[in-house]
Amino acid sequence: MGEGLVVEETVWLRHRSFFLQAEDGIRDLVRSRGLGDVYKRQLTRWVRQAELRAAPQRSGEYHFAPGQEMQHDTSPHRMTIGGKILTAQCAALTLAYSRRLFVRYYLRFTRLEAKHFLLQAARFMDGTCPRCVIDNTSVMVVGGAGADAVFAPEMEAFAATLGFEFMAHRVNDPNRKSRIERPFFWVQTNFLPGRSFADLEDLNAQALRWCIEVANAKPKRALGQSPEAAYALEWPALRRLPAVLPPVYEVLDRVVDLYGFVSVDTVRYSVPERLVGKTVTVYKHYERVDIQHRGAVVAGHDRVIGEREVRRTLPGHHTVPQRAPREPALAEQLLRGEHEVLQRYASALKLHHPHGRGVRALHRLVQIKRSYPIEPFLAAVEQALKFGLFDLTRLEHLVLRHVAGDFFALGGDEGNDDDDA
């Protein structure tokens, strides 16, 4: 054999003929400065039979023990919610051994939503694995990547209360968490098509039902059973959740504006108006917004999700000044109580003069009443009310006609008396 090639004695004895042929091939290589086809085939065959090269590992092929690892990731999905086409973040977590899946949708995915999701996923799995593999998202990672990733302290502390630690995979190595990458395609092609959602709550209710009835109930060829059946074997190996689960909220300081509102994510929530200009503490939960002042709760609102630039006002926070009931105008008072037909006409006259409560018209009516005898005035008013006449100039002409009629009737009676005399 050539110098520098050291082979165990047993391998040499087993493949002696191949070594000799390889040596001849090397001589041919020196002479021809090329590698002959016969030599290549023989050398490849010898390397395989001698098991000197390990079999290549299939990409993304990992094996996990029960309770060893869980994987988490998010993916944007477009859908119709409440008649509008929106993009929502699909957050998912799976147990690497049983492949039991949990998904939930969020319109935004900040650290508040991330903690809320991890808590809901831990409840769904009824436990956690000691390791949760994630990508290098800024929601979890504040610096570095992969093995050098630095996780946000608040996220690390939250994970510790649930009994697990984060692990970020290497950059450009998505196969490391293929258990969670592959289900996103299934969600988009199996869950979303043909569905409509009234709101985010309806979307998540349908997603949970799909996880239970389809994703975790359908047998998988790689498992030889359904994820739910494999989960029954994995559950004893999961870490139990604490008796008291950690609350999920953010603490914010806000100054109450001149209108008695505090702004949280562009939504304005009311507080008692006595706190205008004061600094209050806002506890933003995923579904609620609680507001405190000097340790006392002063307001509690349901959190608005999916709307912007809106207001939420609680009863009693902003009192609306009530005006004292107005006294009737003096002219109206002068027309009341004496004659029923005149009072009805005055009321109808107000309806025909809505601006200023008909004060001018009532004053004019009082002047007409004072300028003429009461009998022809009332007769004209009754006639005007009957025909819907509310033009006071024409009313006055009508009064004059009645006055003239009475005058001439009076003169006629006097003439008859003279004739009799």
Is the pTM for the entire model greater than 0.95?
no
Average pLDDT over residues 262-270: 95
pLDDT tens sequence across 80-118: 999 999 999 999 999 999 999 999 999 999 999 999 999
Yes or no: say if 99 and 230 are a contact pair by the CB < 8 Å rule: yes
Q: Quote the pLDDT of residue 372.
A: 84
**How far is Cα 149 from Cα 142, in angstroms, rounded to an integer?**
8
Amino acid at 231: Y
For residue 326, the number of C-alpha atoms closer than 13 Å in the C-beta half-sphere is 7
- Ranges assigned E (strand) in 43-158: 70-81, 84-95, 101-106, 131-134, 141-143, 150-151
Average pLDDT over residues 215-226: 93
Yes or no: say if 162 and 247 are a contact pair by the CB < 8 Å rule: no
State yes or no: pLDDT of 413 exceeds 80. no
Of 177-186, 248-257, 275-284, the poorest mean pLDDT is in 177-186
Percent of the chain predicted with pLDDT > 70 = 76
> Confidence class of residue 40 from pLDDT cuts 50, 70 and 90?
low
Reduced to 3 states (helix: H, G, I; strand: E, B; else coil), residue 282 is strand
- Residue 270 CB partners (closer than 8 Å, separation 6+): 260, 261, 299, 301, 311, 312, 313, 314, 317, 318
Of 36-40, 203-207, 263-267, 323-327, the poorest mean pLDDT is in 36-40
Yes or no: say if 270 and 298 are a contact pair by the CB < 8 Å rule: no
State yes or no: pLDDT of 282 exceeds 50. yes
Q: Quote the pLDDT of residue 50.
A: 66
State yes or no: pLDDT of 394 exceeds 80. yes
> Confidence class of residue 421 from pLDDT cuts 50, 70 and 90?
very low
State yes or no: pLDDT of 164 exceeds 60. yes
Q: Which two tokens stand for residue 296?
A: 């006392």
Q: Which two tokens stand for residue 289?
A: 């917004």
pLDDT top residue among 191 and 386: 191
Burial profile 13-25: b = 16 or more Cβ within 10 angstroms, e = fewer: eebeebbebbeeb
Burial profile 381-391: b = 16 or more Cβ within 10 angstroms, e = fewer: bebbbeeeebe
Q: Quote the pLDDT of residue 55.
A: 55
Q: Quote the pLDDT of residue 36.
A: 54
pLDDT tens sequence across 290-335: 999 999 999 999 999 988 899 999 998 987 766 666 655 656 665 6
> Confidence class of residue 31 from pLDDT cuts 50, 70 and 90?
low
Instruction: Please provide the size of the chain in residues.
Output: 421
Q: Which two tokens stand for residue 39?
A: 């030599």
Q: Quote the pLDDT of residue 241.
A: 96
pLDDT top residue among 109 and 38: 109
Q: Which two tokens stand for residue 183?
A: 């289900």
pLDDT tens sequence across 248-261: 999 999 999 999 99
Integer-rounded Cα Rg, in Å, for the chain is 45
Domains in the chain (CATH in brackets) are 9-49 (no CATH), 70-237 (3.30.420.10), 249-312 (2.40.50), 330-416 (no CATH)
Own/partner pairs for 368-371, CB < 8 Å, 24+ apart? 368/392, 368/395, 368/396, 368/399, 369/335, 369/342
- Measured N-to-C along each axis, helices 340-351 and 374-387 cross at an angle, to the nearest 10 degrees, of 50
- Residue 360 CB partners (closer than 8 Å, separation 6+): 353
What's the chain's average pLDDT? 83
> Confidence class of residue 5 from pLDDT cuts 50, 70 and 90?
very low
pLDDT tens sequence across 190-212: 999 999 899 999 999 999 999 99
State yes or no: pLDDT of 70 exceeds 60. yes
